[in-house]
Amino acid sequence: MFSQLDPVNQKMVNLISIMNTESLTYSFMYEVFRQELVLGDRRIEPYEVTAFFNKLSLEYPQVAKWTDQTVSRLQSTLRNYLRSAGLVKNDGDDLVVQSYLVDPRLIDQLRADNKPDYIAIFTGRV
């Protein structure tokens, strides 16, 4: 199926693979990115990314021990994942969510894999 998808959806599949292996990326996509689609704001501002990491540090003692440099690198990595996937573009310090269509075959595969949360992340449907 991958080779039959357009480049944007292929990049989404790559991001899904990362989300499957990196829980931090999954959490960010679910808690921050999905909210932008649900609320219609479509703009991820720096304070939202900072708030995500602050919340994590309250929930997980090991995250609270991360240095500012570690958090900064992780923030940069998450931003790069979104840009590389073609889901956002920079607008100053903000990330603006781009319009895209999720291929119905990809949605069907996510349903078959019992991943309704991933569908919600990329479509904004709750």
d(CA 42, CA 58): 26
Both tokens assigned to 96: 């603006």
Apex 73 CA angle, 68 and 74, nearest 5: 100
Contact 52, 32 (CB under 8 A): yes
For 14-32, write each residue's pLDDT tens digit: 999 999 999 999 999 999 9
Mean pLDDT throughout 39-53? 96
Q: Is the pLDDT of residue 126 over 70?
A: no
d(CA 37, CA 20): 21
Contact 78, 56 (CB under 8 A): no
54-92 b/e with 16+ CB inside 10 Å = b?
Answer: eebeeeeeebeebeeeebeebbeebbebbeebbbbeeee
The reported pTM is 0.93
Q: What is the pLDDT of residues 78-92, one digit of tens each?
A: 999 999 999 999 999
C-alpha span between 56 and 39 (Å, rounded): 22
CA distance 26 to 30: 6
